[in-house]
Homo-oligomer: A and B are copies of this chain.
Amino acid sequence: MTDLKQSIFLRTKEDIESIEKELEKELDPYLDIVHDIAGHILFAGGKRIRPLLMVLCARLCGYNGTFAKTLSVIFEYLHTSTLLHDDLIDGAVLRRGKPAAHSLWDNSIVVLTGDFLFAKAGSIAAESGNIKIMKTLSDVYQKMAQGEIHQLLNKGSIDISEEEYFDVIRSKTGVLIEGACRVGALLANASEQEEKAVALYGSWFGLVFQMIDDMLDYTADTDSLGKNVGTDLREGKLTLPVIYALKKANKDDRSFMEEIISNKIFSLEQFEQFKQLLIKYKGLEYVEGLAKKYIAEAVSALSIFDDSKTKDTLLMITNYFLERKE
């Protein structure tokens, strides 16, 4: 474990433990199979980054109560719900190092379990009695659903622009993380300025989070990633390093890349060759440079807050996700 990872671990240990307890407690469906399917992903070692950000943003805005941890689970439930529906769509085989739910259970029950988690999230949110929180969530849901469809429609196309890529990851990942941060502020009855600041932090961080995740699909190894590398490529899903490299590549290299993308089948050797082209045309470098700029924006968004341990932790997490290699 790196020093940074170790420090974050120690600082957030207590929060994460409470979040884990709430995740288990709030799940409680009266049908065991729902618990099994949802739990299969929920308790397979997720990073809990979404609930954690909500809890930390609430605290940053002065919140001291215990309800934050209960409320925070909705962001993990929502995320898991989309994973269940996505894995079905993607035909993914591994998720968090375990077989994807749809390869163990019927598609139909997996879809319904996703629906259940979605509903459960709404139910917990309603407990807050806060209409602004409910509005934020509704908005998040809708953008996410549209984003997922958008991504599905783009699949297999080799003419995705950078702008389209960012549209997709914003609605797929950005809005949920932004929403988690905003809900933290709303729970704390923060000022409008504070609410905007943490939401902005979340929206920049969310982009980086997904950009790095997409890059790791090329640079990590399967064991540490918990899913197969090259999955995006195998599904014809174009991400930023590829979009950038395609734009810069000479005719021959571009032809090779396009063939791999449309075939969706390739040898390990070909995958390695594809990856070398991402390096040659600085696709990975480009993503890293952009991610650094966006992280700077995220950090700057929090500048209105006084220094504190909580603020420090948020900044450490932000930096860690920029550097993560697994």
Residues on A facing B (Cβ under 8 Å): 29-31, 33-34, 85, 88-89, 106-109, 111-113, 115-116, 118-120, 122-123, 125-126, 129-131, 134-135, 137-139, 141-142, 144-146, 148-150, 152-153
What is the bound-complex CA distance between A309 and B108, given in angstroms?
44
Across the interface, which residues of B come within 8 angstroms of A139, CB to CB? 123, 126
Pairwise interchain contact B131-A116, C-beta atoms closer than 8 A: no
User: With A33-B153, A85-B111, A146-B34 given, is the CB distance from A126 to B122 under 8 Å?
Assistant: no
Are B119 and A149 neighbours in the complex by a CB distance under 8 Å?
no
* A285 CB to nearest B CB, Å: 33
Residues of B within 8 A of A106 (CB): 152
Chain B hits for A123, CB < 8 A? 138-139, 141-142
* A85: chain B residues within 8 A (beta carbon): 111-112, 115
Pair B89/A149 contact, Cβ less than 8 Å: no
Contacts of A150 in B (CB 8 A): 31
Docked-complex contact B108 and A88, CB < 8 angstroms = yes
CB distance from A244 to the nearest CB of B (A): 25
In the complex, what residues of B have CB within 8 A of residue A134's CB?
122, 126, 131, 134
Q: Find chain B residues with CB under 8 A from A120 CB.
A: 142
Q: How far is the CB of A289 from chain B (nearest CB, A)?
A: 31
Q: Lowest 9 A-B CB distances belong to which pairs?
A: A119-B141, A89-B108, A116-B145, A122-B138, A123-B138, A119-B142, A126-B135, A126-B138, A115-B145
CA distance A31 to B142 in the complex (A): 12
In the complex, residue of chain B having the shortest beta-carbon distance to the beta carbon of A116 = B145
Q: Is the CB of B152 within 8 A of A108?
A: yes
Q: How far is the CA of A135 from the CA of B118 in the complex (A)?
A: 14
A167 to chain B, nearest CB (A): 10
Chain B proximity of A16: nearest CB distance (Å): 26
Given A123-B139, A134-B134, A149 and B118 contact (CB-CB distance below 8 Å): no
Residues of chain B with a CB closer than 8 A to A146's CB? 29-31, 34, 116
B131 near A126 (CB under 8 angstroms)? Answer: yes
A33-B153, A89-B111, A126-B139 given. 15 additional CB < 8 A pairs?
A: A31-B153, A33-B149, A85-B112, A85-B115, A109-B153, A116-B145, A118-B145, A119-B142, A122-B122, A123-B139, A123-B141, A123-B142, A126-B131, A126-B138, A130-B131
B116 contacts A142, CB within 8 Å? yes
Among A29, A109, A149, max chain B CB count under 10 A is at A149
Query: Can you give 21 contacting A-B residue pairs, CB < 8 Å?
Result: A34-B146, A85-B115, A88-B107, A88-B111, A89-B107, A89-B108, A89-B112, A109-B152, A109-B153, A112-B145, A112-B149, A116-B142, A116-B145, A116-B149, A119-B138, A122-B137, A126-B134, A126-B138, A129-B131, A131-B131, A134-B134
- Nearest neighbor of A120 in chain B, beta-carbon distance: B142
Is the beta-carbon distance between B107 and A119 smaller than 8 angstroms?
Answer: no
Whose C-beta in chain B lies nearest to the C-beta of A145?
B116
Among A111, A129, A138, A141: residue with most chain B CB under 10 A:
A111
